[in-house]
Amino acid sequence: MLILLRRHASLVVIFLIAVTAGLATWHLRGTGAFMTALWHAWDLFLFIVPSLVAGLLLASALRQLLSPDALARWMGADSGLFGLFIATLVGTLSPGGPMAAFPLVLVLAGAGADKGALVAFILAWSLNGFQKLLVYEAPLLGLDFALLRTLITFPMPMIAGWLARRVPIAWEPPK
């Protein structure tokens, strides 16, 4: 129920912004510009849908195959850089939105991953998640930009995880 409410909250906010912006466009720029904008939106929609469906299919198929539990064994407190690398890789490959990724942090923690690996995991998911990259970034902003940006940010979760192991903030998974 709470999840439902959260999702609808952002839907309502974006809907209100869209209506306000739509009215402003119509009022300030005229009916022509209003229709042009709607046409652009429709165009973009048709452009994204094939990637969207493929991305969703890839995500749900991967979910049937991956077992985060087994991988967490490689992500313990003394797993070193290798553990951070595995955590980064798992995060990059983790499909789905926040409703899937954050509970997964708890699963990994329960299976033995340490705080550095968990920070690396969640940052890799949000920065370099393959779904976002393939469905949105590459089609919308161009493959060149998407690849170069990913190359720049790929090592960043490992750096953050390495730092997180040294930051004096203790964290225990909530019961």
Partner 1 sequence: MSGPQIILWVIALAVLALCIRRGVPQAKRAVVETNRGFWRILPMFCVALPMAAFLSELVPADIATEWLGDDSGLSGILIASLAGGVMPGGPFVTFPLVITFSKAGAGVAQMTALLTAWSVYAMHRILTWEYPVLGWRFVALRLASSFFLPVAAGLIMQALLPFFAINLAAP
Query: Which of 70-78, 81-89, 141-149 is the region at the interface with partner 1 (rule: CB under 8 A)?
Result: 141-149
Query: Which of 68-76, 77-85, 148-156 is the region at the interface with partner 1 (rule: CB under 8 A)?
Result: 148-156
Q: Please, which of residues 39-98 interact with partner 1 by CB under 8 A?
A: 40-42, 44-45, 48, 50-65, 97-98
Q: How many CB atoms lie within 10 A of CB 105?
A: 19
Task: Give the H or E element holding residue 75.
Answer: none
Cα gap 40→135, rounded to integer Å: 18
Phi, psi angle pair for 55, to nearest 5°: -65, -40
Site size with partner 1, rule: CB under 8 A: 86
Query: Which of 4-12, 69-77, 82-90 is the region at the interface with partner 1 (rule: CB under 8 A)?
Result: 4-12
For the chain, how long is the longest CA-to-CA vector? Answer: 63
Does 38 sit near partner 1 (CB under 8 A)? yes
Phi, psi angle pair for 67, to nearest 5°: -125, 95
**Helix (H/G/I), strand (E/B), else coil: 138:** helix
Q: Please, which of residues 98-137 interact with partner 1 by CB under 8 A?
A: 98-99, 102-103, 105-106, 115, 118-119, 122-123, 126-127, 132, 134-137
